[in-house]
């Protein structure tokens, strides 16, 4: 009966309750949407930083990620298959890396050549999905090369043109060979677009005189946010001399960006809910003040102060639950719409590279359960905190004084 009384009391002043409810619903639903868009932006950044180049996890010789030593190679050709057999690993791609001078028609530029198995690499990164001219690197790549759009422009080359690459080989000789441009990619990340070339793994192994050897094995995992945990487990199982790095190790600035997102998410929630909380506090103080005499009567006929307090708190709880249901549903719907359709801003802004990732010119949401339960849960907490003071006031009333109130 107390629940029914609280519910009916809630709707005594329908207009005031609806106004407070709408403020709570609007703030919570917009918050869910805004956090979804934040997550979408972060997902884009993370995807561009990891899935375009590094992968979520990388296995390499100890020290290789610090100095990119040509001789720090992995000779175990079965390792990629072993890694792929782990349930949390989606795919693994062996890579060999070389730095040298790449020449086009009359111009030379320093470049990073990444030797890959195209079939495996496209399961780990999306580099080859950003093709803007030509065709993808075939499985038997031969001397074919995919070149970044900025580098191609500077060298003045296009699909079908020849390139010469010169570098130091592992046997101490000067390795040089011809490459033919099969396609041009553009990721939006200036570092990759201006300096990276993808070539066939056997071609580069031959050029560097490192047969059957790779510098690293990049991996894609089911849940990028769980990469650190997987790396810890994997580290214990790897042969000695090999290290495993998660994307946070390779891109510490991106890890900081994710951590700062968690903090800024909490700050945004608190600021918005502080304002909402004041609205709720005002509503319930008004409601309690208006019913002072009634509370006096209830206590006179035997209602305990704690029951009076519980009744007012039940009213705030019901309002909070109603706002939570409506706000959560509307917020989820808006997030879903933004996830499905998004808003293309490429006409207004260009991609921005930040913390090793690229913020794409679009508004796009990503679904993360935390973005729903945290605003909803906090809304309920704010509601109960805001309702506590009026409830306490009601419970502390003296029946005689309260009954005298007009």
Partner 1 sequence: MSLIQLDKVCKTYRTGNLEVPAVVDFTATIEAGEFTVLAGPSGSGKTTLLNLIGCLDQPSSGQVVLDGRNVATTPTRKLADFRLRHIGFIFQSYNLIPVLTALENAEFTLMLRGVPQQQRHQRVRELFALLGLEGLENRRPNDLSGGQQQRVAIARAIAAEPAVVLADEPTANLDSRASRELLELMHRLNREQRTTFVFSSHDPQVVDMARRVISLHDGRLADDRRREP
Residue ranges binding partner 1 (CB under 8 A): 1, 5, 8-9, 12, 293-294, 297-305, 307, 399-400, 403
Between residues 300 and 337, which has the closer beta carbon with respect to partner 1? 300
Judge residue 172's burial from the number of C-beta atoms within 10 Å of its C-beta, 0-12 exposed, 13-18 middle, 19 or more buried: exposed
Q: Which helix (H) or strand (E) holds 317?
A: helix 305-340
Between residues 308 and 360, which has the closer beta carbon with respect to partner 1? 308
Residue reference for tokens 């001078």: 101
Helix (H, G, I), strand (E, B) or coil at 208: helix
Between residues 75 and 404, which has the closer beta carbon with respect to partner 1? 404
Interatomic CA distance for residues 393 and 348, integer angstroms: 54
Between residues 234 and 299, which has the closer beta carbon with respect to partner 1? 299
Between residues 191 and 305, which has the closer beta carbon with respect to partner 1? 305
Work out how close the CB of 393 gets to partner 1 at its nearest, in angstroms, rounded to a whole number: 17
Between residues 170 and 297, which has the closer beta carbon with respect to partner 1? 297
Work out how close the CB of 302 gets to partner 1 at its nearest, in angstroms, rounded to a whole number: 3
Between residues 58 and 299, which has the closer beta carbon with respect to partner 1? 299
Under a CB-based contact definition with an 8 Å cutoff, are residues 175 and 168 in contact? Answer: yes
Helix, strand, coil percentages in the chain from 3-state DSSP, rounded to 5: 55, 20, 25
Work out how close the CB of 401 gets to partner 1 at its nearest, in angstroms, rounded to a whole number: 9
Provide DSSP, 142-196. TTEEEEEHHHHHHHT--TT-EEEEEEE-TTSSEEEEEEEEEEEE--S-HHHHTTE
Work out how close the CB of 294 gets to partner 1 at its nearest, in angstroms, rounded to a whole number: 7
Interatomic CA distance for residues 105 and 157, integer angstroms: 7
Interatomic CA distance for residues 268 and 356, integer angstroms: 24
Work out how close the CB of 7 gets to partner 1 at its nearest, in angstroms, rounded to a whole number: 9
Work out how close the CB of 308 gets to partner 1 at its nearest, in angstroms, rounded to a whole number: 9
Work out how close the CB of 390 gets to partner 1 at its nearest, in angstroms, rounded to a whole number: 17
Between residues 293 and 392, which has the closer beta carbon with respect to partner 1? 293
Kindly state the tokens that stand for 153. Answer: 């422009």
Work out how close the CB of 321 gets to partner 1 at its nearest, in angstroms, rounded to a whole number: 19
Under a CB-based contact definition with an 8 Å cutoff, are residues 18 and 293 in contact? Answer: no
For 86-112, b/e burial (b = at least 16 CB within 10 A) is: eebbebbbbbbbbebebbbeeeeeebb
Instruction: Give residue 50's Cα distance to chain centre.
Output: 11
Q: Positive or negative, the Cα torsion across 12, 13, 14, 17?
A: negative
Kindly state the tokens that stand for 147. Answer: 């070149």
Interatomic CA distance for residues 4 and 9, integer angstroms: 9
Between residues 286 and 363, which has the closer beta carbon with respect to partner 1? 286
Work out how close the CB of 14 gets to partner 1 at its nearest, in angstroms, rounded to a whole number: 12
Provide DSSP, 46-59. HIIIIIIII-SEEE
Between residues 264 and 398, which has the closer beta carbon with respect to partner 1? 398
Work out how close the CB of 8 gets to partner 1 at its nearest, in angstroms, rounded to a whole number: 4
């Amino acid at each position: 009966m107390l629940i029914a009384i609280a519910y009916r009391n809630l709707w005594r002043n329908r207009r005031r309750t609806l106004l407070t409810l709408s403020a709570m619903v609007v703030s919570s639903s917009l918050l869910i949407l805004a956090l979804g868009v934040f997550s979408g932006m972060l997902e884009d950044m993370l995807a561009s930083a990891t899935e375009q180049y590094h992968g979520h996890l990388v296995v390499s010789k100890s020290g290789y990620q610090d100095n990119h030593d040509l001789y720090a190679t992995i000779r175990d050709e079965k390792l990629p298959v072993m890694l792929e057999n782990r349930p949390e690993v989606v795919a693994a791609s062996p890579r060999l890396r070389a730095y040298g001078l790449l020449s086009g028609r009359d111009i030379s530029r320093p470049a990073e050549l990444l030797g890959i198995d195209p079939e495996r690499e496209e399961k780990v990164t999306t580099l080859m999905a950003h093709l803007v001219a030509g065709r993808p690197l075939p499985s038997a790549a031969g001397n074919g090369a995919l070149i970044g759009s900025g580098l191609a422009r500077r060298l003045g080359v296009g699909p079908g043109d020849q390139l010469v690459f010169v570098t130091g080989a592992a046997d101490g000789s000067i390795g040089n060979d011809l490459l033919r441009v099969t396609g041009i990619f553009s990721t939006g990340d200036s570092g990759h677009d201006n300096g990276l070339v993808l070539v066939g793994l056997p071609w580069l192994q031959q050029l560097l005189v490192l047969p059957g050897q790779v510098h690293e094995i990049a991996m894609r995992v089911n849940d990028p946010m769980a990469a650190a945990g997987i790396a810890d487990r994997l580290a214990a199982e790897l042969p000695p001399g090999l290290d495993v790095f998660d994307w946070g190790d390779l891109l510490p600035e991106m890890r900081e960006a994710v951590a700062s997102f968690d903090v800024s998410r909490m700050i945004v929630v608190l600021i918005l809910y502080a304002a909402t909380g004041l609205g709720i506090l005002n509503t319930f103080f008004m409601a309690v003040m208006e019913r002072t005499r009634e509370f006096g009567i209830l206590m006179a006929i035997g209602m305990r102060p704690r029951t009076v307090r519980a009744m007012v708190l039940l009213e705030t709880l019901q309002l909070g639950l109603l706002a939570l249901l409506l706000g959560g549903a509307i917020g989820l719907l808006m997030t879903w719409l933004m996830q499905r359709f998004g808003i293309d801003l490429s006409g207004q802004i260009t991609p921005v590279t930040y913390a090793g990732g690229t913020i794409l010119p679009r508004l796009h949401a990503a679904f993360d359960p935390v973005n729903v339960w945290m605003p909803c849960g906090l809304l309920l907490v704010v509601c109960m905190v805001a309702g506590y003071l009026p409830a306490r006031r009601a419970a502390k009333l003296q029946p005689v004084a309260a009954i005298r109130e007009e």
